[in-house]
């Protein structure tokens, strides 16, 4: 559970290797046609640009000594033309690759979101939301350029080096060898920096993830922060996290800047060597001034691709840390999913059987052990007991939000692990303890689980749970826009809207987890009248701490000691004078 803290770095569970990059090629191949076009344009542009030094050499060694003004104008126009054409081709290529980069971002982000929606509750139990969000947004943005422009630029710069080398050796072999003399030094430095760079950018990834996790947590809990005047303390925590990020970033940038620093200095040394060798060692007899100028231009052009390659390499090293995180998320196993030969669950009547069920969130720590009960279709079942006993766990298992550790859960005799999740959950209405409201209209929120529901059906569901009156008090009624988590609504209003959303689906099995916990006593009494009608013919599981709300259930299961400690109707359990009796009596006295 260490990863569930904002101040703990997430260690990668497998080291990066080339297979990660090969996986990224899946997204690149989808864009191969526009990338090939962009590559062709880049190659043509580079070839045209490389002709400029040859024109300069010819002008200095031939045209100017001959005092041929017409030829000088012609070659000047040709030089200008090479620049204009190169710029035009580069602009077209840039537009193509901008679109390619955004398409790659779209594909990766879509795959991530789809996978995140399929991951089990356990995944979200173990991680702060901020550490998940940063992977979908920031990390995908960080790798897009490397996976689009980076690939083309890498190949292009290699070709540039080859073309430049050909042009250089065509002009002067000895001076070309001088230019190549700096390469061994550059390669040695790059090898020394490679591992340190990767580790430095992994640290940046960790610190960024930690800061993002705390920021998200702080925003979500801002009301609690201000109630308990924790602003100064929280600012101190965030400042420390931001300082750690800044330190990691500065270290990573230190290694990044060493590469262009090395290239610039090597390029300067090589340029100096060209003039020294050409003018002093060889002399005008072996190297004309035009040749030396042309070679110096090629030297500059030769080291520019190397600088570009080093920047691409830097970007690749930076992106490696993000690719690792992205693929780590995509590799998270979907432990709760349809088995290979899963079948459609037919229309159910609502019989639910727990057959020797054992369950543990963490290995070896059982929450439920050898749990057995059989619920008949249409029965209303109350789950009561102390906090943490496993009441919510029972209903989560019926919905198959988690897989059982042992035993089986049957619905109408069908093992729910062998049926498709959609066919199971589509016949269940589940209202969890957290009444989550999505941004949008109240109408959209109630219709969330049944998109084809008519407005009349939505209103009928709202009336049944006593939500219609307060909804109509809003200026726009059911078309009232609400914010994420329903911040404009009271907790009770949010629960009533969630209740209407659940009931609209017309489920055969209804699960209500603390459904009336934030509703006042008057509204609860009104709601109970509607519920009594709605529960008819449905198997229902109701979790409630206020025992007055479950007195009329067909059966009450007292969950304790990793199983069912007591079972019976309200009157039967009161007569037993056991745990339920003590709990009920204590609540009555408090009231």
The predicted-structure confidence for 521-548, as pLDDT tens digits, reads as follows 666 665 666 566 667 778 999 887 777 7
Query: What share of the chain in percent tops pLDDT 70?
Result: 88
Whether residue 1 is predicted with pLDDT greater than 50 in this model: the reply is: no
For residues 108 and 101, what is the distance between their CA atoms, to the nearest angstrom? 11
For residues 100 and 58, what is the distance between their CA atoms, to the nearest angstrom? 40
* Maximum mean pLDDT: which of 269-283, 418-432, 504-518: 418-432
The predicted-structure confidence for 342-362, as pLDDT tens digits, reads as follows 999 999 999 999 999 999 988
Segment 178-194 shows an average pLDDT of 77
Res. 36 pLDDT band, cuts 50 70 90: confident
Ranking 192-201, 512-521, 533-542 by mean pLDDT, the lowest is 512-521
The string of DSSP letters for 292-331 reads HHHHHHHHHHHHHHHHHHHHHHHHHHHHHHHHHHHHHHHT
- Structural domain 350-427+510-520+539-591, CATH architecture: 3-Layer(aba) Sandwich (3.40)
Whether residue 295 is predicted with pLDDT greater than 50 in this model: the reply is: yes
Ranking 32-36, 177-181, 380-384 by mean pLDDT, the lowest is 177-181
pLDDT at 2: 40
pLDDT at 204: 84
Res. 332 pLDDT band, cuts 50 70 90: confident
- CA geometry: angle at 185 spanning 184 and 186, to 5°? 90
Segment 62-68 shows an average pLDDT of 83
Helices (runs of H) and strands (runs of E) counted in the chain: 22, 12
Long-range contacts of 65-68 (CB under 8 A, 24+ apart): none
Helix axes 18-29, 69-118, angle to 10 degrees: 100
195 burial class (0-12, 13-18, 19+ CB within 10 angstroms)?
exposed
- Structural domain 17-330, CATH architecture: Up-down Bundle (1.20)
Residue 343 has what DSSP assignment? B
Res. 13 pLDDT band, cuts 50 70 90: very low
CA-based radius of gyration for the chain: 35
Res. 321 pLDDT band, cuts 50 70 90: low
Segment 10-25 shows an average pLDDT of 64
- For the whole model, what pTM was predicted? 0.64
Helix, strand, coil abundance in the chain, percent, nearest 5: 65, 10, 25
Equal CATH topology for 17-330 and 437-506? no
Say how far residue 384 (Cα) sits from the centre of its chain: 37
pLDDT at 404: 93
The predicted-structure confidence for 243-279, as pLDDT tens digits, reads as follows 999 999 999 888 877 777 777 777 778 777 777 776 6
pLDDT at 55: 80
pLDDT at 354: 96
Q: Are 128 and 4 in contact (CB under 8 A)?
A: yes
Pairing between β-strand 406-411 and β-strand 352-362 as defined by DSSP bridges: antiparallel
β-bridge partners, 384: 558
Ranking 70-74, 324-328, 475-479, 557-561 by mean pLDDT, the lowest is 324-328
Ranking 389-403, 423-437, 522-536 by mean pLDDT, the lowest is 522-536
pLDDT at 484: 65
Question: 223 Cβ partners below 8 Å, 6+ apart?
Answer: none
Residue 363 has what DSSP assignment? T
Tell me the average pLDDT of the chain: 81
Q: Are 130 and 215 in contact (CB under 8 A)?
A: yes
Which class is 437-506 in CATH?
A: alpha beta
Torsion 245-248-254-255 (CA) sign? negative
Segment 124-133 shows an average pLDDT of 76
The predicted-structure confidence for 225-249, as pLDDT tens digits, reads as follows 877 778 888 888 889 999 999 999 9
* Nearest in space to 290 (alpha carbons), one of 61, 51, 55: 61
Q: Are 28 and 154 in contact (CB under 8 A)?
A: no
Whether residue 41 is predicted with pLDDT greater than 90 in this model: the reply is: no
Whether residue 436 is predicted with pLDDT greater than 80 in this model: the reply is: no
pLDDT at 565: 93
Segment 192-200 shows an average pLDDT of 77
The string of DSSP letters for 370-433 reads EEEEEE-TT-EEEEE-STTSSHHHHHHHHTTSS--SEEEEEETTEEGGGB-HHHHHTTEEEE-S
The predicted-structure confidence for 568-582, as pLDDT tens digits, reads as follows 999 999 999 999 999
Say how far residue 9 (Cα) sits from the centre of its chain: 17
How many residues belong to the chain? 591
Res. 486 pLDDT band, cuts 50 70 90: low
Whether residue 50 is predicted with pLDDT greater than 60 in this model: the reply is: yes
For residues 522 and 527, what is the distance between their CA atoms, to the nearest angstrom? 9
Which of residues 132 and 223 earns the better pLDDT score?
132
* Nearest in space to 223 (alpha carbons), one of 485, 546, 564: 485
* Nearest in space to 132 (alpha carbons), one of 240, 10, 7, 247: 10
Q: At 582, give phi and psi (nearest 5°).
A: -65, -40
Query: What share of the chain in percent tops pLDDT 90?
Result: 19
**Ranges of each domain in the chain:** 17-330, 350-427+510-520+539-591, 437-506
Helix axes 18-29, 289-330, angle to 10 degrees: 90
For residues 177 and 157, what is the distance between their CA atoms, to the nearest angstrom? 20
CA dihedral 297→303→309→314, nearest 10 degrees, is -130
């Amino acid at each position: 559970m260490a990863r569930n803290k904002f101040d703990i770095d997430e260690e990668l569970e497998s080291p990066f290797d080339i297979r990660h990059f090969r996986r990224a090629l899946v997204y690149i191949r989808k864009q191969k046609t526009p990338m090939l076009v962009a590559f062709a344009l880049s190659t043509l542009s580079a070839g045209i640009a490389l002709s400029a030094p040859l024109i300069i050499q010819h002008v200095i060694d031939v045209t100017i000594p001959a005092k041929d003004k017409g030829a000088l104008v012609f070659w000047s126009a040709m030089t200008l033309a090479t620049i204009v054409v190169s710029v035009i081709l580069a602009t077209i290529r840039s537009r193509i690759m901008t679109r390619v980069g955004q398409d790659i971002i779209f594909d990766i982000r879509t795959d991530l979101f789809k996978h995140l929606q399929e991951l089990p509750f356990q995944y979200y139990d173990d991680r702060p939301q901020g550490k998940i969000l940063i992977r979908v947004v920031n990390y995908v943005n960080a790798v897009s350029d490397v996976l689009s422009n980076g690939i083309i630029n890498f190949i292009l710069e290699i070709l540039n080096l080859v073309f430049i080398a050909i042009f250089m050796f065509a002009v002067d072999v000895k001076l070309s060898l001088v230019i190549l003399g700096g390469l061994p030094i550059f390669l040695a430095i790059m090898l020394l920096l490679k591992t340190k760079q990767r580790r430095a950018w992994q640290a940046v990834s960790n610190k960024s993830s930690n800061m993002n996790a705390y920021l998200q947590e702080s925003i979500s809990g801002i009301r609690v922060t201000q109630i308990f005047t924790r602003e100064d303390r929280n600012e101190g925590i965030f400042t420390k996290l931001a300082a750690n990020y800044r330190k990691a970033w500065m270290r990573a940038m230190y290694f990044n800047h060493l590469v262009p620093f090395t290239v610039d200095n090597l390029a300067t040394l090589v340029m100096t060597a060209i003039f020294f060798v050409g003018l002093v060692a060889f002399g005008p007899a072996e190297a004309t001034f035009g040749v030396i100028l042309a070679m110096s231009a090629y030297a500059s052009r030769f080291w520019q691709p190397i600088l570009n390659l080093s920047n691409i390499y830097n970007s690749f090293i930076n992106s490696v840390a993000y690719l690792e995180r992205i693929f780590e998320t995509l590799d998270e196993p979907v432990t709760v999913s349809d088995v290979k030969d899963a079948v459609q669950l037919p229309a159910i009547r609502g019989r639910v059987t727990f057959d020797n069920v054992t369950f543990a969130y963490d290995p070896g720590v059982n929450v439920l052990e050898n749990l057995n009960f059989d619920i008949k279709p249409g029965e209303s079942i109350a789950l009561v007991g102390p906090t943490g006993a496993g009441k919510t766990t029972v209903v989560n298992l019926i919905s198959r939000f988690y897989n059982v550790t042992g035993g089986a859960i049957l619905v109408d005799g069908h093992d729910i692990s062998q049926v498709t999740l959609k066919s199971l959950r589509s016949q269940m209405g589940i209202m969890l303890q957290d009444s989550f409201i999505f941004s949008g209209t109240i109408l959209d929120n109630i219709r969330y689980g049944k998109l084809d529901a008519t407005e009349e059906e939505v209103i009928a569901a709202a009336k049944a749970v006593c939500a219609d009156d307060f909804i109509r008090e809003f200026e726009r009624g059911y078309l009232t826009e609400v914010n994420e988590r329903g911040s404009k609504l009271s907790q009770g209003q949010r629960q009533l809207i969630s209740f209407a959303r659940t009931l609209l689906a017309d489920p055969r099995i209804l699960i209500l987890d603390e459904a009336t916990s934030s509703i006042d006593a008057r509204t609860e009494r009104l709601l109970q009248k509607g519920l009594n009608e709605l529960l008819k013919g449905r198997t229902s599981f109701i979790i409630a701490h206020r025992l007055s709300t479950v007195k009329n259930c067909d059966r009450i299961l007292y969950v304790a000691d990793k199983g069912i400690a007591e079972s019976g109707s309200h009157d039967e359990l009161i007569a037993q004078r056991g745990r339920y009796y003590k709990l009920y009596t204590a609540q009555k006295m408090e009231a």
